[in-house]
Amino acid sequence: MLLSFIPVLATLTLVCASPVSVQIEKVSILGDYNAASGVEKFLGLKYGTSTRFRRAAPQSYSKAGFINATAHGPACPQIKGLNSLAVDYGIYGTSEDCTLLDIYRPHSVPKRELLPVMVWLHGGALTQGAAWYYPGAGIVEESSKINLPVITVIMNYRLSAWGFLGGNEAAANGALNLGLYDQKLALEWVQKNIQNFGGNKSKVTVFGQSSGAMSIAYHMLSVNTKLFQGAILESGTTTSVPALKTEKYQGNYEALVSIVGCNTRPNTFECLRTVDRDVLINATNVMFGQSALYGSRPWGVAIDGDIIPGSPSVLTAQGKIAKVPFITGNVMDEGTIFVKPQTVETDAELLAFLEKDYLNRNASFFQNSTSVALLKLLYPKIPALGSPFDTGSATFWGSQFKRAAAIYGDIHFQWARRNFLNVAVSKGINSWSYIFNQFTPTSAEWQGVFHTGEIPYVFMKFSPADGELHTLSKQMLAYWVSFAYNRDPAYKSNPTWEKYSKGLKNLEFTAAKTSMQRDDFRAHGINFIGTIADQFLESSK
């Protein structure tokens, strides 16, 4: 995902840093204290030991020792090309043994009162991202200023083929969804160890964006909800991108095996486990480059009967969502950055783009001429009605770019959000919804209020010099940390945020005015998407 704000976030000053320490069992952990921000950091802590295509083992602290946790650890191996950061060659490098996390806490942690914990799961299409992208010091510093101090945990988890290899051989060797199992292991680590840092294991809120939010939603369909008591889902739910049957990934598995030269070996899986790391990295980059960007992904979440016990769309429809209070929301222009690489000028190119997005899912929708005609009718070729919204007759990247972006955003995000919320309301689960609708001046006009656009506001990127953007950032974070404390986002000086059950409303975030709005935009189109959703999600069943 686009992460243009991250270099600013990641450039943290170490002025006035001094050592602090925490004890876990027999191990002393040395961190840093920044007097200017009042934040202590413990970086690069291993929560597990991971080897290729095996589930990570819990990290042991049984032997006396010392851990220097004053520098970020490496990222997990991943594809390049979604943004300009080139993670694989970043300042912290990459390692296959990458199951680690960073902890940020206030310096003045109360001795008798354990603090709520917020655990971040990054996005990046399950192919890119790292803990060091998202320094949590700004969250901790601001939470202390408003007298709601929290501890923030940011985790790595395995990505790309390392974390989400599919296919029959991966299933037979217990190698499906390793990235999700990493997340679970990190949450188990928090339950076991966060009290040593002053955190309350009974007040853990998981929050994440895009594939991180989707991951949280998947965990809400399993027993893993015992590991957290609240959730904040930014741009992603259980049906944003379907989990597939493992055989749907078989062609991708065989392609990877062939590219790295394992196709002539009697045991292709064991060959993949031992092939040179750089060879495997290059192969994953080749495969991703050949796939439909953000569409026909080579790797992804698979139904394994365990951490993904069944089709997420079916489980959601059956109401099998854990009774965990949650916030979920979207940005206004979710689809723009996903469509931008495409040329969309004609109806044929529009349908080709959408069908390619569902290539691995064999969606029967595209064989139904009546449904296709109705979709085009409800999302007409009128630029003023397309995304980015409220940009008039501008067409940007082709005459049907905005039309495609509106459809893509509504299928993957807006309908998925409403569907998840409606099920939660029917089950009496406390839930709140938002729409982030603030254009950031550093964004390109064609992006609009784009996917990932809210993240710098949550992570307190903006300074007082940014005026109303800084004010909006403070407002958003006050809601987030209030939810971590009270399982309700209400904050004394903020506008009232009603539960979704009270009138099906969103809290719309803008710098000019944050207020409750009816969640009924593009109702006919999004309702129609709901009637055909099974056709898009069918191959996950």
**Residues with Cβ within 8 Å of residue 324, at least 6 apart in sequence:** 220, 225, 228, 229, 230, 231, 429
Bridge partners of residue 541, in order along the sequence: none
Cβ count near 33 (within 10 Å):
16
**Residues with Cβ within 8 Å of residue 426, at least 6 apart in sequence:** 319
82 touches 169 (CB < 8 A): no
Task: Based on the residue annotation, tell me whether 72 is a catalytic residue of this protein.
Answer: no
Furthest C-alpha separation in the chain: 69
User: What's the CA gap between 496 and 515, in Å, rounded?
Assistant: 8
DSSP codes, 150-214: -EEEEE----HHHHH--SHHHHHTT-TTHHHHHHHHHHHHHHHHGGGGTEEEEEEEEEEETHHHH
2 touches 450 (CB < 8 A): yes
CA 515 to chain centre: 25
The encoded tokens of residue 424 equal 């939660």
| Catalytic member of 144, 451, 454, 473 | 451
Bridge partners of residue 121, in order along the sequence: 208
DSSP H or E run through 102: strand 100-106
CA distances for 407 relative to 219, 375, 381, 500, 523, angstroms: 27, 9, 11, 24, 13
| Catalytic member of 40, 334, 355, 508 | 334
CA dihedral 515, 457, 321, 410 (to 10 degrees): 70
Tell me the HSE value of 368 on the side-chain side, using a 13 A CA sphere.
Answer: 13
| Catalytic member of 50, 144, 210, 222 | 210
Task: Based on the residue annotation, tell me whether 334 is a catalytic residue of this protein.
Answer: yes
Q: Helix, strand, or coil here: 454?
A: coil
User: What's the CA gap between 72 and 135, in Å, rounded?
Assistant: 10
369-378 vs 523-537: helix axis angle to the nearest 10? 150
Catalytic residues: 210, 334, 451
